Amino acid sequence: MKTKKLGAEALQQQQGGIVVLSFPRLADPKVLKHAVSTRLGGVSQGTYRSLNLSAKVQDDLVRVKENWTLLSRAAGMDLETPVYVDQVHGDRVIKLDAANRSPSGGSLGEGDAIITNEKGVPIMLLVADCLPVFFYDPTHQAVGLAHAGWKGTVGHVAAKALLAMGEAYGTRPEEVRVALGPCIGLCCYEVGVEVYREFAEVFPWAGEVFQSSSPSHWKLDLAEANARQLMEIGLKEGNLIRSDLCTVRHHDLFYSHRAEAAGEKKTGRFGAFIMLNS
């Protein structure tokens, strides 16, 4: 396996042509497995080249299934039967437990965050510019994932996931480790006045995560906005891991809806995965 550092704290690993990222500071790999997939090493073609994981973007489904098989081998997790949510850019957090767990994996319904203390069960989200947020509670052995686009960020989806871990498992924010995965960066995420106003109505520090780019447009630091809302409820800065990888600037490595999808043109999705070892 070939490895190298990428961005602020991500480790890039390549095995069998498949490239994935991990965050060494998040957890001991003997206790926890996690990964961010890239677009490299798969069998999809054209605009989906090459490790597209989404079956909902009009890619060839046979190729998508093969991509999952290849990724499973490289990541060391059974990712052919992951548990996931049908992402809707909301703030609903779903707990995975014995009552709703299926041996064949599958969807838990509409939501944008998953939490669990089940062992040996990979949970996942698919993204292509939105921010994947990883949670690991080493004290109570629980994990979570949140999908934060601008709407989910305004809805406090990441903070709600962390608070839900507290209710379900006794998780304390000051003990949790959080990793912010690749997403569209401040450099490239231009939004209009309606988004600016939504943030300004909710966050007193909203002006500090925007930069004016024209009289009616601003650039938004999505990762920083989520970091701030998590630290407001007790996350320690020292337990926050930032990838600092922009999906637009690095769309050779990640799928980016903003950089690639326009009109009828589609792009793929990369994944965020986390699993407590059995």
Domain boundaries, the chain: 2-276
CA–CA separation, 18 and 259 (whole Å) = 22
**pLDDT of the residue at 263:** 67
For 45-63, b/e burial (b = at least 16 CB within 10 A) is eebbebbbbbeebebeeeb
CA–CA separation, 273 and 55 (whole Å) = 17
**pLDDT of the residue at 265:** 80
CA–CA separation, 174 and 172 (whole Å) = 6
Task: Kindly report the pTM of this predicted structure.
Answer: 0.97
Ranges of H-type helices in the chain? 61-75, 150-154, 157-169, 193-202, 222-232, 257-260
Q: Residue 19: helix, strand or coil by DSSP?
A: strand
Residue among 23, 31, 32 nearest 3 (CA): 23
Determine how many CB atoms are found less than 10 A away from the CB of residue 16: 11
Intra-chain end-to-end CA distance of the chain, in Å: 24
Site of tokens 């569209």: 184
Q: Top-level CATH class of 2-276?
A: alpha beta
Residue among 187, 195, 232 nearest 213 (CA): 187
Query: pLDDT, tens digit, for every residue of 20-34?
Result: 999 999 999 999 999
Site of tokens 């909203």: 206
Joined tokens for residue 254: 């990640």
Report residues of the chain scoring pLDDT below 50. Answer: none
